[in-house]
Amino acid sequence: MELHKHIFLVGFMGCGKSTVAKLLSESYNVRHIDTDAEIVNEQKMSIADIFERYGEEHFRKLETNLLLRLKEEAPAVIACGGGMAVRDANIDIMKSCGTVIMLTATPETIYKRVRHQTDRPILNGHMNVEYISDLMDKRTPYYNRASDVKVTTDNTSPEEIVQKIVEII
Ligand code: S3P
């Protein structure tokens, strides 16, 4: 199977974007890119350190700059940080060069997946279902606007999710 434009995976933290991107990229024999990992590599700093030293806005600018660079590169499967689709400018860039797929999961599923992790500044100090649910409600309109396709991940293996996506595209 040949990929003619990028596939962007968007959605809330812990919905499985990175895991699915890796597997999906194998189906198309293309690179998989994780925007968080890419930024950490470029900046030589953890996401938590970037937030702490320079603030969230700075991180968001780094995300937009990265998208602008990726737009010029060969088609790849790109796992986006959970806030990527929350800026209209980013939605425009993604739509201009790729298919955007939204992965979803319930707040309870997300909580179960991320509760022991400490590397997400947005959730540190707010690790509970209510906070996740509130933030998800705020972000869902953006994710909906950004995405061409929506795929649920609750009680579904990464392999099954990849199969669903390949069938749709
Ligand atoms: C964020 C999600 C994270 C990372 C950063 C901010 C967010 O990515 O980009 O911590 O605002 O939702 P993941 O969705 O890969 O956890």
**81 Cβ closer than 6 Å to some ligand 1 atom:** yes
Helix pair angle (158-168, 17-28), 10° resolution: 50
Residue nearest to atom 3 of ligand 1 (CA): 81
Pairing type for strands 77-79 and 32-34 reads parallel
pLDDT reading at 8 higher than 90: yes
Return the percentage of the chain with pLDDT > 70, whole number. Answer: 100
Say what the pTM is: 0.97
- In the chain, the domains with their CATH numbers are 6-162 (3.40.50.300)
Say how many Å lie between the CA of residue 5 and the centre of ligand 1: 24
Test site for ligand 1: of 36, 42, 49, most ligand atoms within 8 A of the Cβ: 36
Convert the pLDDT of each residue in 48-98 to its tens digit.
Answer: 999 999 999 999 999 999 999 999 999 999 999 999 999 999 999 999 999
